[in-house]
Amino acid sequence: MEPQKKVFFVEDNKQIALLLSIQLAKLGYQLCGVADNGPDAVAGIWMSKPDIVLVDIELNGKPEGLEVGNFLDSKTDIPFIYVTGHDNPKILENAGKTAAKGYLTKPFSHHDLKTVLDMAQRNGEV
């Protein structure tokens, strides 16, 4: 049996992180860490070595998730997916400049999560 793929989630809303951990388990993934800000995310990603990272673009009212995306893009080969609850054109334009493997718009369904994770695996060869 293939080992579970590890997912790290960068999210400042604890309820969303909890719900995601349940959805990930149902899909056969393991949530290996959660961080609610950019610096903790970078440290947690280095330590946990996830297969995929889900990154909320806006953390605590600031677009810190973009900094995490830039870090992942320039310093790792880990595929990442942006998660967003808004449609600010400037922020989305900046997000588009990174190598994100996909986007999820909050609220997202179980099916949407599965689809974007499957795509990230195929595109990132996870």
C-alpha 114/C-alpha 110 separation (Å) is 6
Collapse the DSSP code of 11 into the 3-class scheme (helix H, G, I; strand E, B; otherwise coil) and give the result.
coil
CA 101 from chain centre, in angstroms, equals 10
CATH 3.40.50.2300 for domain 5-124, yes or no, is yes
Residue ranges covered by each domain of the chain: 5-124
Give the CA-trace dihedral at 46, 119, 36, 71, to 10 degrees: 50
CA-to-CA distance for 64 and 61, rounded, in angstroms? 9
Output the pTM of the full model: 0.91
What does the block give as tokens for 24? Answer: 């990930």
Model confidence pLDDT, tens digit, residues 45-60: 999 999 999 999 989 8
11-41 pLDDT tens trace:
999 999 999 999 999 999 999 999 999 999 9
